[in-house]
Amino acid sequence: MKHVVILGATGSIGCSTLSVLAAHPDRFRVLALTAATGVDKLFAQCQQFTPRFAAMQDPAAALLLQKKLKDAGSATEVLSGTEGLVALAAHPQADIVMAAIVGAAGLLPTLAAVEQGKTVLLANKEALVMTGELFMQKVAKHGATLLPIDSEHNAIFQCLPLPMQQAGHLTRLSEHGISRLLLTGSGGPFLNRPLDSFAQITVAEAVAHPNWTMGQKISVDSATMMNKGLEFIEARWLFNCAAADIQVVIHPQSIIHSMVQYTDGSVLAQLGQPDMRTPIAHALAFPERISSPVQPLDFFTLQSFTFKQPEAARYPNLYLAMAASAAGQGATTALNAANEVAVAAFLTEKIAFTTISKINEQCLNYFQSYQASSLDDILALDAETRAYARQLLGML
Ligand code: NDP
Ligand code: MG
C-alpha cells in the first residue's frame, strides 16, 4: 500500500489524481490533502477519502476546515500555512507526493518532498522553472524519484529507453541514440484568430481551451503559449538537454502528447485522450501499469493529425521563455515571476491579453543577467521581479 500526499488537491490535477486513486483503493491510501482557501471542496474530499491530515495555506481557512471536520466527527488533523504544507510533503509516512500547487507557491513544499527522497510526481512546472539546477541537484543528492506529470514530459518519459528513464537527468540524450525531443502543443484557442483582434481577447475566451480542462493560470499560459515556453525549460532540466535538442511542434488535436526522435530515423510517440488521468496513472504506478478511468482512443473516430510551426508574432511568450532559458537561471526565475503577476492581472481584467507578453518582456530585459543560484537568491529575485512587474502595471 502506497501512501499519497496531494499538494493542491482541490485543483484540476488534484481532482484528476483523486479520480485515479479512487479506482485503486487496494494500492493507494490518501495520507494528506492540501489546498489554499477552498474549504468546501477540501472538506468534501476529506469526507470521501478520510486522509490522516489536511492542510490549508490560509490560516483562517484552516480553522474553518478544522471546525467543519470536527462537527462532522472526522479524525482528519488540520495543519496550516507553508509550514503545514511542508510538514505534510516531508511526512515520514508519505511514499508519493503529487506536486500540483499552481505557481511559485508550490516550490517550498515540493522541495521538501525532494529533500526527503520521496517519489515526487511533478505537475507544478513553475517550481522547476524557478530553480532548475538546484532542484535537479537536490533530486540527485537526496535520491528522490522525479516523475513528470505534465502530459508532454510524461509522454517523452514514456518514449525514452529504460536506462534513460532510470537516470535521465544524469546522462545525455545522445548516449541513448536520441537526436531530438519533439515537444507538442495544441497552439491554444487562438491558433487561427486574426492577430489584429488579440487586444480584444476576453478572459472567458482565453480560459476556454479547445482540448483540455485545466486551472485558470495554465489555461491562459496555454493561450499565450507561455505554457510551452515553461515546458521547454522544464524539458531541458528533466532530460538534461540543450535548447537545440528540443523542437516545439504545434499539433492542434492534442492526441500525440510528444515524441522522441532517434538517430536511426525512428520516432516514438505517446498518444492518448487529452485527459491528465493517463499521465497521472502512469506515474502513480510506474514502472507498472494500472487502469485509469480514461476512454480508450478510437482511431476510426479521430480527426486527422496536423502539424505546424509556432509563429513568433502570435506567441511572443514562447520565444521569451526560450530566450530566458538561454540566458540562465536568473532569467527563467524572473520570467516566471513576471508571468504570474501579468496573468493574475489579466484574469482580474486589469490588463489586455497582449499586455501579458509586454510585462514579461520588460521584466526579462531588466533581470535577465541576474545571478540566482541559492534558494535565498532565487526567492529574493522572485520577490523583486514581482514588485517590478506590479510597478509596471501601476504605470499603465
Ligand atoms: P488549479 O488552479 O486548478 O489548482 C491549483 C491548486 O493549488 C488548488 O488546489 C489550489 O487550492 C492550490 N493553491 C493555489 N494557490 C496556492 C497557494 N498559494 N498555496 C497553496 N496552495 C495553493 O491548477 P491546476 O491543477 O490546473 O495546475 C496545477 C499545476 O499543475 C500547475 O503548475 C500547472 O501548470 C500544472 N499542470 C496542470 C495541468 C492541468 O491539466 N491542469 C497539466 C499540466 C501541468 P484552492 O483550490 O484552495 O485555491
Ligand atoms: Mg503540458
Of 5, 12, 207, 277, the residue with max ligand 1 atoms within 8 A of its CB, to mutate for a pocket test, comes to 12
Rg (CA), the chain: 20
pLDDT of residue 229: 98
Q: Indicate whether 285 belongs to any domain.
A: no
* Same domain flag for 109 and 200: no
* Same domain flag for 361 and 212: yes
pLDDT of residue 78: 98
* Same domain flag for 113 and 201: no
353-367: average pLDDT = 98
Tell me how crowded residue 89 is: count the other CB atoms within 10 A of its CB: 29
Q: Indicate whether 186 belongs to any domain.
A: yes
Proportion of the chain above pLDDT 70, given as a percent: 99
**Residues 82, 36: Cα–Cα separation, whole Å:** 10
Q: Is the model's pLDDT at 396 over the cut of 90? A: no
Q: pLDDT tens across 125-179, in order? A: 999 999 999 999 999 999 999 999 999 999 999 999 998 998 767 789 999 999 9
How many angstroms separate the Cα of 28 from the Cα of each of 31, 60, 157, 281?
A: 9, 30, 23, 11
Taking the centre of ligand 1 as the mean of its atom positions, its distance from the CA of residue 82, in whole angstroms, is 15
* Same domain flag for 246 and 106: no
pLDDT of residue 125: 98
Chain centroid to CA 118 = 18
Q: pLDDT tens across 213-271, in order? A: 999 999 999 999 999 999 999 999 999 999 999 999 999 999 999 999 999 999 999 99
The identity of residue 185, as a single letter, is G
Please tell me if the CB atom of residue 14 comes closer than 6 angstroms to any atom of ligand 1. Answer: yes
* Same domain flag for 193 and 321: yes
> What's the structural domain count of the chain?
2
Please tell me if the CB atom of residue 332 comes closer than 6 angstroms to any atom of ligand 1. Answer: no
How many angstroms separate the Cα of 345 from the Cα of each of 57, 103, 335, 349, 367?
A: 22, 15, 15, 6, 20
* Same domain flag for 378 and 236: yes
183-200: average pLDDT = 97
Single out the residue in 83, 98, 124 at which a domain terminates.
124
- The CATH number assigned to the domain holding 187 equals 1.10.1740.10
Nearest atom within ligand 1 for CA of residue 38: 47
* Same domain flag for 195 and 111: no
pLDDT of residue 168: 62
Q: Which ligand approaches the C-alpha of residue 228 most closely?
A: 2
Single out the residue in 108, 124, 140 at which a domain terminates.
124
* Same domain flag for 232 and 111: no
- The CATH number assigned to the domain holding 47 equals 3.40.50.720
Taking the centre of ligand 1 as the mean of its atom positions, its distance from the CA of residue 179, in whole angstroms, is 33
Across the chain, mean pLDDT equals 97
Q: Indicate whether 174 belongs to any domain.
A: no
Please tell me if the CB atom of residue 13 comes closer than 6 angstroms to any atom of ligand 1. Answer: yes
Range of the domain at 70: 2-124
* Same domain flag for 82 and 226: no
* Same domain flag for 19 and 91: yes
Please tell me if the CB atom of residue 124 comes closer than 6 angstroms to any atom of ligand 1. Answer: yes
CB-count exposure of residue 395 (10 Å: 0-12, 13-18, 19+) = exposed
Contact 69, 44 (CB under 8 A): no
Q: Indicate whether 295 belongs to any domain.
A: no
- β-pair partners for 256: 271
Q: Indicate whether 208 belongs to any domain.
A: yes
Taking the centre of ligand 1 as the mean of its atom positions, its distance from the CA of residue 299, in whole angstroms, is 32
* Same domain flag for 208 and 331: yes
Of 10, 46, 102, the residue with max ligand 1 atoms within 8 A of its CB, to mutate for a pocket test, comes to 102
Place of cell 524539458: 235
Q: Which residues surround ligand 2, an ion (CB under 5 A)?
A: 150-152
Buried (b) or exposed (e) across 172-183, using 16+ Cβ within 10 A? Answer: ebeebebebbbb
Q: Indicate whether 199 belongs to any domain.
A: yes
* Same domain flag for 371 and 269: yes
Single out the residue in 79, 100, 124 at which a domain terminates.
124
Q: Indicate whether 374 belongs to any domain.
A: yes
Q: Indicate whether 88 belongs to any domain.
A: yes
Please tell me if the CB atom of residue 185 comes closer than 6 angstroms to any atom of ligand 1. Answer: no
Taking the centre of ligand 2 as the mean of its atom positions, its distance from the CA of residue 231, in whole angstroms, is 7
pLDDT of residue 212: 85
